[in-house]
A and B are shown apart, each in its own frame.
Chain A
Amino acid sequence: MGKSVDTPDGKLDILKNISLDVKYQEAVVIKGASGSGKTTLLGLMAGLDQASSGDVFLFGENLTGKSEEQRSSIRAGRVGFVFQSFHLVQGANALQNVMLPLELAGIADAQQLAVTSLNQVGLENKTSTLVEHLSGGEQQRVAIARAFAVKPTVLFADEPTGNLDAATGRQIADLMFHLRDQSGTTLVLVTHEGELLERGDRQILIESGRLLSG
């Protein structure tokens, strides 16, 4: 599959002839330089965007030609996300942030599941703290708790330690892989950090929109 966008200077190919399989419970790390197309690839795999050519399958369903609404339904309750900038809802506390995807998916005991998930990331004492009052590392823990709360089949993480110091980044990486090991969640992770690269089952190198290894 491929992805291209129209620019004032003409058509720009961001991804070209990508062919990739991610197996169930596999941890795949996508690496590459800035602008290489790794975040675009992650978005296409998660169904956040549409490929310009070729097909993308998620849970056996072809995302090509599906509307945003249909792709949302495919993701619902099965996909988790962790972002570099955390993307928590400001003005809401940690518990409410973790409950958000559970309630969006219509899960009844959202609060209980959210509390459990926060316990798993070590934030049992911060459930009622507004997220803007948490440290960067704690905010990313809330984001991880939110991602794992729905018991996702696949977790997509985009530079999850990119905004954190080395020590905190290490803790977050440990936590994420620990939870992944516990739950057997498939992990697709975009990074350029050496330590995270080593932890994946498989590394995929992308350069100028082309898959060089993997």
Chain B
Amino acid sequence: MKLGRATIHSYWLMFVATVITVAIVTSSQLITDRISLLLDRQASELLAGDMVVISNREFDPDYRDAALQHGLQVSSSVSLRTAIFIDDDPQLVELKAVDSAYPLRGQLERASEVTGDRTVTREIPERGRVWVDTKLARLVGQSIDLGEARFDTSWLLTFEPDRGGAIFNLAPRVLMNIEDLEATGLVVPGSRVRYRLIFAGAQADLNRFKVWLTTNLKSGEEIQDLENARPEMREALQRTRKFFALAIVLTLIIAMAAIAITARYTANREASKVAMLRAFGISQASLFHYYLRQLGGLWLAATVTGIVLGWITQFPLEWILDGWFGKTMPQVQTLKPYFSASLVGLLALAGFSLPYLINATATPPMQVLRTAVNRRSWLRGMLITASAIIAVFAVLVLLMQSSMLAVATLALVLVCALILPLILGWMVKLLLFSSQRRFWLRQYLLSRLQASSRGAIYVMSGFSLVLIAILLIAVVKDELLGSWQQQLPDNIPNYFLINIRSDDIAEVGAYMRQHGIDSSTPYALARVRLSKINSIDVDKISFTDPRAGHLVRHNFNVTHARELPDQNEIVAGSWLDADNPRAQLSVEEGMANRLELKLGDVLTLTSGSKTLHAPVTSIRSVVWENFKPNFYLIANPELLADLPQTGLLSAYVDAENKIELKQLLKRFPSITLLDITELMARVRNIVDKASIALQFFFVFALASALIVLLAAIQTGRHEREIESSLLRALSAHTNQLYRVHVLEFTLMGALIGFFSAGLATVAGWAISVYFFKIDFHPSLTVWIYSLMSSSLVLTIAGTLVSRRVYNISPMKILRS
């Protein structure tokens, strides 16, 4: 048997659905890989490289050699705190010495004066010269002494990529050439120096090098990469990836629903042919092989077409995003997206269509004589369901590489897929038998929907699933992104005021209020180090999370507060009891997880010669990317009373308030001002990019939905034509035929819209709360969109169908 033209024609919808599935996977994999590379690169710029190793001691030269051998670029920098004298007043500065390769990612920006244009540069300070922070602007053109050497101040340093993970600790920056460092004589045994070795290169090389480095790392050395660098950036990147993952999964579900519906349609069409062939003695096995070959051919053709289509469609998005990112998107160097796409196409096609075709090949020859003999057995029904579940699961695991996410999405899909036919069938029955008085139109329409031969309930369920996915992408996505963006409103803090003397804290707060500057509550900070957990030295505890090392080896800020800070949420225990003076600590959830802390654990904190003991009384979740002061530890005020403290507050300062801010700095000269506009802009940029990229996947979702719609129209077309012909023969007028068809689709659309909105709301809630961990607000928009779009689209489809049907001669009823 050969694949004839007629057969190809009967398979065309299934072919198009498979092409779209393969194209979605190809395009989404290429695009997400490229966006991921770009976002990683953007985030890398905040590290000045892809990976950094930090130490208080000079590095073993082997590190640099090994990195070069692994094909990586290497740069080193040294930073230390020192004092310079300005008009005989000492000023603490953060001196940073860099080599000519610095930065490996991102760029330095400099200006000749505070109000001058910022220019990007690949240069670093020449020997004998330094660049200084804008806070030291008045030193430009002057000479400053750093240790034993004198330097000319040539530029203002307006931006450096890796301006420290702990943004509250910065003293004004002075940047110098590493060649000059020795001459300063500042690096002597005992001085507190931070050495950084920065690496950049291909991800595979980095991964291999990280393995090597991890095994060779010495005590006191710490690796930082994108995963453990900036918490704000990390959260933004992770959430962006989750959004992409969700959009791709939902789009794929639509595409696979299209395959399922078209496979069912094709199998039904083939049933009579199979019955005839079996009547002629062709074995079931031969028929199965015949269909297997057809499917193989279809898969091959669809894979090639889909991959080409997917490859092409990455370019419009690249073009859109290039303008936004301001740089070229990196190319994906592997063939993985194409292999994934062809495998997904195969899994989806086989999973959805094979059981139907097995069912079709089992069509009894008796069907030649009498239709509807082949009632699907319970076992075959199970086979179809199981096969579809396995296909969806395999595709999700393959693409998401996260079985938990796959299972969650699959569960959602299955619930919808299983519930929808039941609910819709039940609803149609209820409407059908609610009144027997008049049959015409309403009853007739409902009976059409209920007729199992047309499979309307299944098509409606498929369409509903598609609509749910579209609603989740189009509408719920807006809600999710909206609530994310609400965390980044326009007036989020753009300045941090740090190093406020403890005596000045209240006065600074009052000054901000008095001048109408939108600022946070001032927080008093004490620097502490975690030394013991439940009286056991932290050095003696082996933590499973490698990031725990950073927390136990370094000083960090602890604050005290009476009220739970904004956007903090207690996840365990209860907030600090103001009426209870005994020691209490509230620990950030991430820190608690990394250090495996639980309620009641007693932490020993040291600050200079002082030691504090306090039990963990609550664990808090913190929204790191909100740019407000966030803390790992919050104590009750009594606990920190004896420790030296400085103040911190964040403020939103617009152009009009800058004069007041300057006056504040004059009045309180100890305060250091930290401008985080740049960092904030980068995080906001990621949110915007995520939104644009998601719109793109929406186009695929709509294309798949169109296929589902075509399949829905095709399914039962023959029956619809026969019935129209019958109605004609029974003297129905054109307007009656019009009402039948249009209203059938409108009713179908309204039912689909109603249930889709309900299920999308539930799914949106589940995704928001359990997947993105953000609040969900049910929206009326979802219901309006759902009902309107579904009714409208299906009514238009119904109208188009009707136009065909009007022209069908009633003679067809005699010929059928």
- Specify whether A and B are partners: yes
Taking a contact as CB atoms under 8 Å apart, the answer to whether A101 and B453 are in contact is no
Is B317's CB within 8 Å of the partner chain A?
no
Tell which of B447, B453, B733 has the most Cβ of chain A within 10 Å.
Answer: B447
The A-B contact count (CB < 8 A) is: 105
Taking a contact as CB atoms under 8 Å apart, the answer to whether A91 and B452 are in contact is yes
Collect the chain A residues with CB atoms within 8 Å of residue B454's CB: 90
Is A69's CB within 8 Å of the partner chain B?
yes
Collect the chain B residues with CB atoms within 8 Å of residue A148's CB: none
Collect the chain B residues with CB atoms within 8 Å of residue A110's CB: 438-440
Interface stretch, picked from A24-32, A42-50, A174-182, is A42-50
Is A105's CB within 8 Å of the partner chain B?
yes
Is A153's CB within 8 Å of the partner chain B?
no
Contact among B439, B453, B727, B810 with A48 in the assembled complex (CB-CB below 8 Å): B810
Q: Give Cα A10 to B816, complex, Å.
A: 24
1/0 contact trace for A104-115 toward B, CB 8 Å? 110000110000
Taking a contact as CB atoms under 8 Å apart, the answer to whether A92 and B437 are in contact is no
| Distance from A73 Cβ to chain B, minimum over Cβ atoms (Å) | 7
Collect the chain A residues with CB atoms within 8 Å of residue B450's CB: 91
Collect the chain B residues with CB atoms within 8 Å of residue A73's CB: 731, 733
Q: Give Cα A85 to B449, complex, Å.
A: 21
Tell which of A40, A81, A91, A92 has the most Cβ of chain B within 10 Å.
Answer: A91
Taking a contact as CB atoms under 8 Å apart, the answer to whether A100 and B811 are in contact is no
1/0 contact trace for A91-103 toward B, CB 8 Å? 1100110011101
Collect the chain B residues with CB atoms within 8 Å of residue A77's CB: 731
Taking a contact as CB atoms under 8 Å apart, the answer to whether B814 and A43 are in contact is yes
Taking a contact as CB atoms under 8 Å apart, the answer to whether A48 and B440 are in contact is no
Is A138's CB within 8 Å of the partner chain B?
no
1/0 contact trace for B132-158 toward A, CB 8 Å? 000000000000000000000000000
Is A89's CB within 8 Å of the partner chain B?
yes
Contact among A72, A79, A91, A103 with B451 in the assembled complex (CB-CB below 8 Å): A91
Collect the chain B residues with CB atoms within 8 Å of residue A103's CB: 438-440
Closest Cβ neighbor of A84 among chain B residues = B814
Taking a contact as CB atoms under 8 Å apart, the answer to whether A104 and B443 are in contact is no
With A87-B726, A91-B450, A91-B451 in contact, is A49–B444 under 8 Å at CB?
A: no
Closest Cβ neighbor of B371 among chain A residues = A85
Contact among B438, B439, B453 with A90 in the assembled complex (CB-CB below 8 Å): B453
Beta-carbon contacts under 8 Å, A41-65 to B: 42-43, 46, 48-49
Is A76's CB within 8 Å of the partner chain B?
yes
Taking a contact as CB atoms under 8 Å apart, the answer to whether B730 and A81 are in contact is yes
Taking a contact as CB atoms under 8 Å apart, the answer to whether A83 and B439 are in contact is no
Is A39's CB within 8 Å of the partner chain B?
yes
Contact among A43, A85, A101 with B731 in the assembled complex (CB-CB below 8 Å): A101
Interface of B is mostly: helix
Closest Cβ neighbor of A159 among chain B residues = B814
Is A124's CB within 8 Å of the partner chain B?
no
Is A126's CB within 8 Å of the partner chain B?
no
Taking a contact as CB atoms under 8 Å apart, the answer to whether A85 and B728 are in contact is no
Is A68's CB within 8 Å of the partner chain B?
yes
With A48-B729, A104-B732 in contact, is A90–B451 under 8 Å at CB?
A: yes
Collect the chain B residues with CB atoms within 8 Å of residue A48's CB: 728-729, 809-811, 813-814
Taking a contact as CB atoms under 8 Å apart, the answer to whether A81 and B448 are in contact is no
Is B327's CB within 8 Å of the partner chain A?
no
Taking a contact as CB atoms under 8 Å apart, the answer to whether A69 and B733 are in contact is yes
Is B660's CB within 8 Å of the partner chain A?
no
Collect the chain A residues with CB atoms within 8 Å of residue B436's CB: 95, 111, 128
Is B815's CB within 8 Å of the partner chain A?
yes
Q: Give Cα A128 to B450, complex, Å.
A: 15
Taking a contact as CB atoms under 8 Å apart, the answer to whether A96 and B443 are in contact is yes
1/0 contact trace for B724-746 toward A, CB 8 Å? 00111111111010000000000
Collect the chain B residues with CB atoms within 8 Å of residue A132's CB: 372, 452-453
Collect the chain A residues with CB atoms within 8 Å of residue B733's CB: 69, 72-73
Is A75's CB within 8 Å of the partner chain B?
yes
Collect the chain A residues with CB atoms within 8 Å of residue B444's CB: 89, 92, 96, 100
| Distance from A49 Cβ to chain B, minimum over Cβ atoms (Å) | 5
Taking a contact as CB atoms under 8 Å apart, the answer to whether A99 and B451 are in contact is no
Q: Give Cα A79 to B437, complex, Å.
A: 24
Q: Give Cα A40 to B815, complex, Å.
A: 9
Collect the chain B residues with CB atoms within 8 Å of residue A68's CB: 728, 734, 809-810
Q: Give Cα A41 to B682, complex, Å.
A: 79
| Distance from A67 Cβ to chain B, minimum over Cβ atoms (Å) | 9
Beta-carbon contacts under 8 Å, B792-816 to A: 809-811, 813-816
Closest Cβ neighbor of A136 among chain B residues = B370
With A89-B444, A90-B451, A91-B450 in contact, is A75–B734 under 8 Å at CB?
A: no
Tell which of B732, B809, B814 has the most Cβ of chain A within 10 Å.
Answer: B814
Q: Give Cα A59 to B56, complex, Å.
A: 108
Taking a contact as CB atoms under 8 Å apart, the answer to whether B439 and A104 are in contact is no
Is B43's CB within 8 Å of the partner chain A?
no
Collect the chain A residues with CB atoms within 8 Å of residue B449's CB: 91
Collect the chain B residues with CB atoms within 8 Å of residue A90's CB: 447, 451-454, 719
Taking a contact as CB atoms under 8 Å apart, the answer to whether A158 and B814 are in contact is yes
Q: Give Cα A166 to B179, complex, Å.
A: 110
Is B723's CB within 8 Å of the partner chain A?
yes
Tell which of A39, A75, A104 has the most Cβ of chain B within 10 Å.
Answer: A104
Is B722's CB within 8 Å of the partner chain A?
yes
Taking a contact as CB atoms under 8 Å apart, the answer to whether A89 and B731 are in contact is no
Collect the chain B residues with CB atoms within 8 Å of residue A79's CB: 731
Q: Give Cα A100 to B726, complex, Å.
A: 11
Collect the chain A residues with CB atoms within 8 Å of residue B810's CB: 43, 48-49, 68
Q: Give Cα A89 to B447, complex, Å.
A: 8
Taking a contact as CB atoms under 8 Å apart, the answer to whether B727 and A92 are in contact is no
**Could you pull out 8 A-B pairs where Cβ atoms are within 8 angstroms?**
A48-B811, A68-B810, A73-B733, A75-B731, A89-B444, A91-B450, A100-B444, A104-B727
Residues of A within 8 A of B (CB): 39-40, 42-43, 46, 48-49, 68-69, 72-73, 75-77, 79, 81, 83, 85, 87, 89-92, 95-96, 99-101, 103-105, 110-111, 128, 132, 158
A sample of 9 more A-B contacts (CB under 8 A), given A39-B815, A95-B439, is: A43-B814, A69-B733, A87-B816, A92-B444, A95-B436, A96-B443, A99-B439, A104-B731, A111-B436
By Cβ-Cβ distance, the 10 closest A-B pairs, closest first, are A103-B440, A91-B451, A76-B731, A91-B447, A92-B447, A48-B810, A90-B451, A91-B450, A99-B439, A101-B730
